[in-house]
């Protein structure tokens, strides 16, 4: 890879990527795209395998002028890893932090459009905490929609139905979030006990509770982002798509959703909506998933631990 980007002026955007045994080809594509833009890259490696870490280290060494690698000794979870990356970006005097998953690929021109929008919002809407792009999943050939809360009802709106290029929304996906770092200390860091799921949900609800704003950007470019292990297609008054999750991921999704009930900045309408989703998730994956018994076991354990406010995390060798 060889890209020529002028570095005489410090990049305003620090891209914070949390890695955990990334797919080499996809991760190569992520870095290739980022190196085309005037950004700094912070990789926080959450994986302790020598083989995987060696590959990430080699890539960082090839582009040491653009990439800073932070290796963690164990898997600390995405929340803590993001906090470490963002804190370092602040120490290095960056203006924004772009959070990215290891398989999220920004298309040409996206980062420049996001930066221009962020700089404009900094002047016109100084209480803006973050802006995020359209997310596109090539497996389902579909764009994720932005979530709105109106009159106590949760709705999703896509760019095709929006007249402008910005949608004021309740929260954004963590991958693709361009965070305005001047508000980081006031809002606070990501809640590390959540480990992985609903990390951004809690943070964005805190953002809105404190009077800050976030916007979805209907840009010409988009962010390729893979939701879940694969895509499930189901019919409910029309065909819909949803991500397929492993039993272990459903445990943390369900547990953390129930944990959110205790936060004062989480609206009751979200709690009700999340409760209905838990019921649907349990019924769908117990009936239609090939591993229905394990799905039921982990979801029910997630409900139990959520109600008890227990903290349990799983790896491939852990059994309930």
Q: Output the tens digit of pLDDT for each of the chain's 320 residues.
A: 433 444 446 799 999 999 988 888 899 999 999 999 999 999 999 876 666 667 788 888 899 999 999 988 888 999 999 999 999 999 999 999 999 999 999 999 999 999 999 999 999 999 999 999 999 988 778 888 898 887 777 888 888 876 679 999 999 999 999 999 999 999 999 999 999 999 999 999 999 999 999 999 998 899 998 876 665 665 555 656 667 788 999 999 999 999 999 899 999 999 999 999 999 999 988 888 888 899 999 999 999 999 987 544 444 333 33
The whole-number pLDDT of residue 118 equals 97
Strands (E) in 40-83, as ranges, are: 40-45, 67-71
d(CA 293, CA 290): 9
Angle 232-237-239 (CA atoms, 0-180°, nearest 5)? 30
Query: Whole-angstrom Cα distance, residue 297 to residue 241?
Result: 24
Q: Kindly list the structural domains of the chain, giving each domain's residue range(s) and its CATH number in brackets, ordered by start.
A: 13-224 (3.90.550.10), 230-308 (no CATH)
Residues 6+ apart with CB under 8 A from 94: 10, 11, 12, 13, 14, 40, 181
**Helix intervals (H) in 184-267:** 184-187, 199-209, 247-259
Token pair of 167, please? Answer: 């949608």
What's the pLDDT score for residue 231?
59
For the chain, how big is the Rg over CA atoms in Å? 19
């Amino acid at each position: 890879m060889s890209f020529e980007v002028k570095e005489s002026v410090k990049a305003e955007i620090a891209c914070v990527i949390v890695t955990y045994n990334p797919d080499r080809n996809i991760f190569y594509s992520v870095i290739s795209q980022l190196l085309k833009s005037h950004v700094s890259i912070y990789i926080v490696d959450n994986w302790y395998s020598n083989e995987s870490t060696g590959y990430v280290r080699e890539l960082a060494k090839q582009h040491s002028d653009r990439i800073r690698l932070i290796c963690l000794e164990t898997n600390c979870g995405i929340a803590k890893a993001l906090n470490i990356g963002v804190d370092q970006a602040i120490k290095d005097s960056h203006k924004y932090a772009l959070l990215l998953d290891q398989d999220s690929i920004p298309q040409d021109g996206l980062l420049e459009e996001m930066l221009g929008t962020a700089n404009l919002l900094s002047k016109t809407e100084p209480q803006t905490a973050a802006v995020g792009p359209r997310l596109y999943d090539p497996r389902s050939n579909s764009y994720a929609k932005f979530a709105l809360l109106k009159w106590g009802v949760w709705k999703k709106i896509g760019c095709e139905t929006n007249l402008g290029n910005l949608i004021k929304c309740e929260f954004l996906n963590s991958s693709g979030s361009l965070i305005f770092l001047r508000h980081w200390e006031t809002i606070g860091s990501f809640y590390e006990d959540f480990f992985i799921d609903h990390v951004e949900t809690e943070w964005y609800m805190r953002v809105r509770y404190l009077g800050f704003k976030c916007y979805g950007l209907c840009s010409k470019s988009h962010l390729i982002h893979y939701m879940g292990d694969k895509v499930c297609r189901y019919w409910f008054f029309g065909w819909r798509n949803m991500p397929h999750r492993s039993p272990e991921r459903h445990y943390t999704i369900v547990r953390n959703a129930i944990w959110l009930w205790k936060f004062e900045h989480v609206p009751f309408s979200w709690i009700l909506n999340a409760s209905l989703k838990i019921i649907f998730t349990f019924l769908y994956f117990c009936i239609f998933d090939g591993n229905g018994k394990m799905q039921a076991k982990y979801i029910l354990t997630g409900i139990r631990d959520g109600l008890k406010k227990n903290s349990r995390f799983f790896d491939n060798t852990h059994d309930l």
